[in-house]
């Protein structure tokens, strides 16, 4: 995925990406602004800068998982195992943490039908993990706030 855009900067070195330099672009795949990989969210880098970056293997892994979970054909509910056909019936947790020790790590990219999410037996555990990570500053941003409000909406629905 080599792309070249005018006036773009490498988020690793901060220098402009010149037309004759090999560059890589990343999608907006990570909503947790506290995560180590968040710098790469929706960004461009020089290929040479990335090749020396300490998080390059974690980034490659996260992008691999991202691409295996996005797109209509990849949307399988982790509860019932069925395809999620309708975007209105889709509930995705997204990429939550790069840190293997985070209680959110095992929930990365989990996705559900809305009804399956509501009845998810781990929902309380997930809500607790999310709260712990928000309170300790390890999870923040609009995507995280959206998850928190979705969870409290589930609570009021009973």
**Which residues of this chain interact with Zn ion, rule CB under 5 A?**
10, 12-13, 46, 49, 77, 79-80, 113, 116
For Zn ion, the closer of residues 30 and 77 by Cβ is 77
Q: How far is the CB of 83 from Zn ion (least distance, A)?
A: 9
What's the closest the beta carbon of residue 24 comes to Zn ion, in angstroms? Answer: 10
For Zn ion, the closer CB: 78 or 143 = 78
Q: Whose Cβ is closer to Zn ion: residue 77's or residue 143's? A: 77
Find out whether 13 and 49 touch, Cβ atoms under 8 Å: yes
* φ, ψ dihedrals at 113, nearest 5°: -70, 150
- Which CB, 77 or 139, lies closer to Zn ion? 77
Q: Is 67 helix (H, G, I), strand (E, B) or coil?
A: helix
Q: Please give the Cα distance from 118 to 128 (Å, whole number).
A: 15
**Dihedral of CA 24/25/27/32: which sign?**
positive
Minimum CB–partner distance for residue 18 and Zn ion (Å): 10
β-strand pairing of 23-25 with 44-46: antiparallel
Residue 71 φ/ψ region, left for φ over 0, alpha for ψ in the -120 to 50 degree band, beta for the rest:
left
Smallest separation (angstroms) from Zn ion to the CB of 108: 18
């Amino acid at each position: 995925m080599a792309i070249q855009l005018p006036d773009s900067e490498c988020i690793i070195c901060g220098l402009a990406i010149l037309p004759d330099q090999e560059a890589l672009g990343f999608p907006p795949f990570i909503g947790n602004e506290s995560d180590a990989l968040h710098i790469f969210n929706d960004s461009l880098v020089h290929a040479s800068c990335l090749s020396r970056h300490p998080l390059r293997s974690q980034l490659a892994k996260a992008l691999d998982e991202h691409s295996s979970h996005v797109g209509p054909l990849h949307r399988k509910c982790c509860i019932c195992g069925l395809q999620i056909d309708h975007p209105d019936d889709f509930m995705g947790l997204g990429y939550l943490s790069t840190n293997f020790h985070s209680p959110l790590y095992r929930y990365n990219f989990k996705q559900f039908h809305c009804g399956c999410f509501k009845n998810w037996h781990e929902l309380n555990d997930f809500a607790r993990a999310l709260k712990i990570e928000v309170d300790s500053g390890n999870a923040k941003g609009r995507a995280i706030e959206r998850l928190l409000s979705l969870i409290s909406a589930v609570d009021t629905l009973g």
